[in-house]
Structure 1
Amino acid sequence: MSPRPETDDGYGAPYSALAQVYDRWMAADRVPYDQWLTFTGKRFAESGLQVRNVLDVACGTGMTIKALQDHGYEVTGVDASAAMLDVARARTAPGTELICLAVPDERLAELGPFDAALVCFDGANYLTGQDALAATLSQLARTLRPGGVLVFDLSTRRTFEEIAAAGEFGEDFGDFAYIWNTRHEPDTPAYEYLVSLFVAEGELFRRSVEQHAQRHFTRDEVRNALRATGYTDIAVSDNYTEREATDTTRRETWSARRTTGSIPR
């Protein structure tokens, strides 16, 4: 998810520069959008609801929105980065509602109601503030209709530790390149990434540096937050598959349903 736009130390807003090359970068990593769509489609079917309209939080450049729209869903997108939404606007169906909003935000709860909501590709890992995960889950519960489906993923502690262990790394794509540095405060779940991006402008390259903050969560933290904010049928699996999540899982996929009763605030 594109996180809150506020920055420190003069760094650019997250995804402000990355937006222009983000899709090419992700294509190089072979992001399995089709696998994500297959998994979420199964969760929709299992709910017994006729899922028609979907809220895509941390929608980024609109890849998941476009995939959902191609399968007949009505989709509203939310992201904190205006630059990413500009790319999404060019990709998605004319008239798609795209809202620039950094969650948690009470305005999220005023949207909808939706049959389902998604937070894909580590978007929830950007919820670093105290109780930010629970606040966002509560707002999503209130934007879902009773019985509505929530699917989201989280990179695990194992993933964060592997990235931190790699130290500084980067890649050259020809007309753009990046250098990635990880900062981690020992004995905490919080990580900061400095991403230096170099994009060709004529014969020169323009350098931009973005600061990203993420964190990992234990399964108990996630499960307790879901229970406390009005969800049932809670399940977790390994990276958008039916495999059980284990200690070696690098990305967990969570699914749950909004309770049919009142939602805690």
Structure 2
Amino acid sequence: MSPRPEADDGYGAPYSALAQVYDRWMAADRVPYDQWLSFAKRRFAESGLEVRSVLDVCCGTGMTIKALQDHGYEVTGVDASAPMLDIARTRTAPGTELLCLAVPDERLAELGPFDAALVCFDGVNYLTGGDALTATLHQLARALRPGGVLVFDLSTRRAFEEIAALGEFGEDFGDFAYIWKTRHKPDTPAYEYLVSLFVPEGELFRRSVEQHAQRHFTRDEVGNALRATGFTDIAVSDDYTEREATDTTRRETWSARRTIGSTPR
């Protein structure tokens, strides 16, 4: 979903243009929102808490918010992209709190307290700064009530390498088209994606180019960051299932709980 809204070298901010076609693209890719919700609900039930309030970070166009609301949860959404949030407002329940924040942001810690928090669909992979992961987890811990549940996913090194191996690729959906180009910084976990989007404008197509920066993390990096920021009951599985994450896993799903005692300040 949506990262820090920065443009570089004249490129558009992430999801500034993609917002208008994002749902169409995700529908074509059959993104399994229902599977994500079912997994999160299992983790909520296992916690023993009565989970009612949920913070959805990197909420994008509000698909996960709507799914949660349809199941009776009270949801607050956070995203860095104002265009994505504009679409979320048309989908979510009237009065839903939707905040334009680019994590990490200290204002995140001031929200709540929530019973649970979600960061779905590679949102954490956009935390490319040296301490961005730890800072964001620390803020999420402070936004959760004691014992509160955190669920998030991460694309793995294997997934990044598979995408990079494709080089430049694209697809024509009829009502829009895109070209995707991957750039990898050698000997680092950092990747950049240049996404050229073509949408109809009269008899022609308008081209917009966005630059997206992501990175992968080792399991040790993630586990250590969770423990350092006040989380316990840490678990990782394969792509929103109960299967063990392995070296072939392309998306890891992490869950943890905020410690009952004090949270590191």
TM class by smaller structure = over 0.9
Q: Which position in structure 1 is the counterpart of 2:72? A: 72
Paired AA for residue 169 in structure 2: F
Are 1:143 and 2:135 matched, yes or no?
no
Q: Which position in structure 2 is the counterpart of 1:212? A: 212
Say what the alpha-carbon RMSD is for the aligned residues. 0.5
Identity of aligned residues (%): 90
Cα shift readout 1:206-252 (whole Å, capped 9, x = no counterpart) = 10000000000000000000000000000000000000000000000
Secondary structure of 1:257's aligned partner: strand
Paired AA for residue 157 in structure 2: R
**Structure 2 CA distance, aligned partners of 1:155 and 1:220?**
15
Q: CA deviation at 1:152?
A: 0.1
**Structure 2 CA distance, aligned partners of 1:156 and 1:205?**
34
Are 1:233 and 2:223 matched, yes or no?
no
- Stretches of structure 1 that go unaligned for 5 or more consecutive residues are none
**Structure 1 CA distance, aligned partners of 2:45 and 2:175?**
43
**Structure 2 CA distance, aligned partners of 1:6 and 1:69?**
30
Paired AA for residue 145 in structure 2: R
**Structure 2 CA distance, aligned partners of 1:157 and 1:64?**
25
Paired AA for residue 245 in structure 2: A
Cα shift readout 1:166-193 (whole Å, capped 9, x = no counterpart) = 0000000112000000000111000000
What are the residue-to-residue correspondences of 1:119-134 with 2, within 5 Å? 119-134=119-134
Are 1:44 and 2:44 matched, yes or no?
yes
Secondary structure of 2:236's aligned partner: strand
**Structure 1 CA distance, aligned partners of 2:104 and 2:214?**
14
Q: Which position in structure 2 is the counterpart of 1:187? A: 187
Are 1:196 and 2:196 matched, yes or no?
yes
Q: Which position in structure 2 is the counterpart of 1:162? A: 162
> What is the count of residue pairs matched by the alignment?
265
Secondary structure of 1:115's aligned partner: strand
- Stretches of structure 2 that go unaligned for 5 or more consecutive residues are none
**Structure 2 CA distance, aligned partners of 1:175 and 1:140?**
38
Paired AA for residue 212 in structure 2: H
Q: CA deviation at 1:5?
A: 1.1
Q: Which position in structure 2 is the counterpart of 1:114? A: 114
Q: CA deviation at 1:158?
A: 0.1
**Structure 1 CA distance, aligned partners of 2:49 and 2:127?**
29
**Structure 1 CA distance, aligned partners of 2:225 and 2:194?**
29
**Structure 1 CA distance, aligned partners of 2:64 and 2:8?**
30
**Structure 2 CA distance, aligned partners of 1:58 and 1:218?**
21
**Structure 2 CA distance, aligned partners of 1:223 and 1:179?**
35
Instruction: Kindly report structure 1 stretches of 4+ aligned residues shifted beyond 2 Å.
Output: none
Q: Which position in structure 2 is the counterpart of 1:103? A: 103
Q: Which position in structure 2 is the counterpart of 1:4? A: 4
Cα shift readout 1:96-151 (whole Å, capped 9, x = no counterpart) = 00000000000000000000000000000000001100000000000000000000
